[in-house]
Amino acid sequence: MILLRKNYEVDDDLVDLVKTQIKENKNTFDQLSKLYTTYFAEASERPEVIFLDFYSDILESITKELSIYHRSNYTFPFWVQIYTPKSRKFEEHDHFSGKEIVSWVHFLSQSSKKCFYFIDSDGNKTYPEQNKGDFIVFPSWVLHAAEPPENEERIVISGNIALTKIQTQIDDFKYSECSYYSVDGKRMGIWDISINKFPTKGKRGFRSSI
């Protein structure tokens, strides 16, 4: 399930700063799941923006390892989730809508209990190692979920690498290009055949959104 695993510990003072600012904003508390999340927050209400350059560099390295950096344009939206012992189970879900190629989760602070897990088509759960600072990358269509911690808070940042364009070689002359359209309110990827390569020139993923 895991494509890549890294470890990037973040200064505790920065994590505490982000946590405090999120908790001070009543709009970040999800009454249904009993957790704090910036997923639905406006950009101006998202203190994790301070990590934008940090994740930009990490994801540049990762997309190079995955052999897509030099032939794609991408965005990397990300958000914070703060779980407490009173949180409810975050139900099984995926991050795939048609343009997300991989997803990731960064464990900024980790509880003694393994809470994050993957689930396969037979309902089997797999709990990966999830130590403080662990950064795991997995396919966006993989189902996953999270249980509440037992005695302490758990803080993670989750995100996706979403393609806006990718170049794949079909043969020596033709290249395919993926474009995204809205059909009946749903995002759909359509592969078009092009004679010419489009000029990515190793362009870094757009940094206009988090």
Rounded to whole angstroms, the Cα distance separating 82 from 184 reads 34
49, pLDDT greater than 70: yes
| pLDDT band with cut points at 50, 70 and 90 for residue 43 | confident
Residue 44 confidence (pLDDT): 87
- pTM higher than the cut 0.85: no
| pLDDT band with cut points at 50, 70 and 90 for residue 21 | very high
Tell me the domains of the chain and their CATH numbers: 4-164 (2.60.120.620)
154, pLDDT greater than 80: yes
Per-residue pLDDT tens digits for 106-116: 999 978 899 99
**Mean pLDDT, to the nearest integer, of 19-34?**
95
